[in-house]
Amino acid sequence: MVAQHKRTKKMNEIKYPLVRTYYICFDNERTEVKSYGWVDPNQVFTTIWIFDEFTEEEQWLAELAKWGIVPDIDEQGNLVL
């Protein structure tokens, strides 16, 4: 009898960053943006997706633009998804 192992996805996270940290999540092949946003120093972000992270908003916006994404940020500075 062969033992079967259940494959579980590893959780990736940004945990209480020193400064606001922006992220872009991708599928495993990096062919599709799955999510994007930011994590403030009092927050934890956990995902099953792989992601790139940025500490400069301009770099984050430039990378999103490469994917044809322009984030909608309201007057209070909140990301509108």
Task: List pLDDT tens digits, range 6-35.
Answer: 555 578 999 999 999 999 999 999 999 999
- Residue 4: pLDDT above 90? no
Would you call 78 exposed, middle or buried from its count of C-beta atoms within 10 A (0-12, 13-18, 19+)?
exposed
Neighbours of 37 (CB within 10 A): 14
Predicted TM-score (pTM) of this structure:
0.83
Is the per-residue pLDDT at 80 higher than 70?
A: yes
Closest Cα to residue 71, out of 81, 63, 62?
81
pLDDT of residue 8: 55
Q: Name, in order, each residue with C-beta under 8 angstroms of 2's C-beta and a sequence gap of 6 or more.
A: none
- In this predicted model, what pLDDT tens digit does every residue of 42-64 receive, in sequence order? 999 999 999 999 999 999 999 99
CA distance 11 to 36: 16
